[in-house]
Amino acid sequence: MRKLFLFAWALTGFASAAAAASVPGLDAIYPELDAFYIDLHQNPELSGHEEKTSAKLAERLRRLGYEVTTGVGGTGVVALMKNGAGPTLMLRADMDALPVEEKTGLPYASKVTVKSPGGGVVPVMHACGHDVHMTTLLGTASVLAKMKDKWRGTLMLIGQPAEETIKGAEAMLKDGLFIRFPKPTFAVALHDSAELPSGTVGYAPGFFLAAVDSVDITIFGRGGHGAYPHKTIDPIVIAARTVLSLQTIVARENNPLDPAVVTVGSIHGGFKNNIIPDEVKLQLTVRSYSEEVRKKLLAGIARIAKAEAAAASAPKEPTVAIVESIGATYNDPALTKRVAATLAKALGDSNVSTIAPKMGAEDFGAYGRAGVPALMFDLGAVEPGSFEKAKASGTPLPSLHSSEFAPDRERTLRTGVSALTAVSLDLLAKK
């Protein structure tokens, strides 16, 4: 009962309405948070190159009194605030941006370009809201640093690199994240959403985001003149049959109740109309939740690719390589139930909802697979009026990774800080 009383008292000042979600002290620091967000948005950095971004985050956390370590798993940041005996709560924000040219028309739109490995120019944009994630992390860090009499334990804040290439979480873990630093009792993250109005949050217990495997297939043939196909073994025809046959894995081999996706996103072969090439390359993305389904999909892809090549008397078997891979993001059911109740108290029941799992992917799930109860929830980022108009008309809004995606800045940031603060005060509550 005392714990509930303290928690309720600590949340005094939280607004339940979507338009005014706030925590004590947030109004005073909001202008600084807003400036931090705009700076991050104007100066994005690609995966693995977050040097300036991580330095900005680290410097501000040090100012707040956190013990900060940089260079973890590349450009990763780990900030600790120890406040007596108690659990360790890890809050994670990712830092990298995307190779997208911003077309939002915002006065603070990114104009950043960088040189690609091939020597070309690549535009860069925070099109997935990682600037939102870092700003809400900093805001929560600021508020909790001034509320140390309301919580006990260790707050562990993570600035993670390379989420977009699904390498950052594993890199930090391999660099001793849970060995050099306290292993968390809980791990929590939020992700902005282009499918929820700002001022609201959504959660899903159990599987939340899919496992992803990027598969490259090279099909070999025997090239020649397009006028004499009978003197060749055409890898383009083999590739075409392979693409169609791959769809039967999901349509006819997989249980319809088990989510699965096999998408061929790229096919390349040949250079001229009248020349049959020697080889064709396919690039696939494969999505699933359970490891059983994941193994079945990957085995089926290899089997079909080899069988189609054999049926065409290809000179050799195709190569099938998994070039990127990350497991599903699974929300611990008990932690999800507890956090959902906390969010409902902080933001109001009407602003917290259960949402459906997605086939998108995230590397946050790696922390859960490392033995830590973990939860990721969605933070609405669409201006409520625009959301309702789009819902009524059926007009799609810009999605994450879109060049036109722009969060409803202030409401989204305030709600994010309010949500993470409420969750932290509960999970680190004084007994």
Which of the residues are catalytic?
A: 96, 163
Instruction: Identify which of 381, 361, 404 has the alpha carbon closest to the alpha carbon of residue 100.
Output: 404
Instruction: Identify which of 45, 349, 343 has the alpha carbon closest to the alpha carbon of residue 190.
Output: 343
Residue pair 305/242 in contact (Cβ under 8 Å)? The answer is: yes
Q: Annotate the chain with three-state secondary structure.
A: CHHHHHHHHHCCCCCCCHHHCCCCCHHHHHHHHHHHHHHHHHCCCECCCCHHHHHHHHHHHHHCCCEEEEEECCCEEEEEEEECCCCEEEEEEECCEECCCCCCCCCCCCCCEEECCCCCEEECECCCCHHHHHHHHHHHHHHHHCCHHHECEEEEEEEECCCCCCCHHHHHHHCCHHHHCCCCCEEEEEEEEEEEECCCEEECCEEEECEEEEEEEEEECECEECCCHHHCECHHHHHHHHHHHHHHHHHHHCCCCCCEEEEEEEEECCCCCCEECCEEEEEEEEEECCHHHHHHHHHHHHHHHHHHHHHCCCCCCCEEEEEEEECCEEECHHHHHHHHHHHHHHHCHHHEEECCCCCCCCCCHHHHHCCCCEEEEEEEEECHHHHHHHHHHCCCCCCCCCCCCCCCHHHHHHHHHHHHHHHHHHHCECC
